[in-house]
Amino acid sequence: MEAKYQTKIKKFAEANGWTVIKILRATVNGLPDLMAFKADRPPLFIEVKDTGGVLSKVQQYQIKKLRTDGFVVFVSEPKDYEDLKNYLNN
């Protein structure tokens, strides 16, 4: 289910002018699943979770660090899709 939701997010973002990169492997553990870029918008990180999914401690740490560094980070499960869509459309 999580993979399908991630694909749905990626397709919607790309249809709205974002370049989306799926982070498969990184030298830093716990980074969000997706990075999205669009001209004149701050870089966006998206951690995709299935309904009721829980962040690991390292994910919590990395998300907090990214936000502290000024980045926009969404932790999104299917119930949050409309909020994410609204952000991507603006």
Helix (H, G, I), strand (E, B) or coil at 89: helix
Report the pLDDT averaged over residues 21-25: 87
Contact of 26 with 53, CB cutoff 8 Å: no
Could you give the angle at the alpha carbon of 39 between the alpha carbons of 34 and 61, nearest 5°?
35
Q: Provide the residue ranges of all domains of the chain, joining segments of one domain with +.
A: 2-89
Query: What is the average per-residue pLDDT within 6-16?
Result: 96
Q: Which CATH number fits domain 2-89: 3.40.50.360, 3.40.50.720, 3.30.310.80, 3.40.1350.10?
A: 3.40.1350.10
pTM for this one? 0.92
pLDDT in tens, 40-84: 999 999 999 999 999 999 999 999 999 999 999 999 999 999 999
SS3 (DSSP) at 17: coil
Q: Which residue has the tokens 């932790």?
A: 75
Cα separation, 52 vs 25, in Å, equals 24
Confidence band for 25, pLDDT divided at 50, 70 and 90? confident
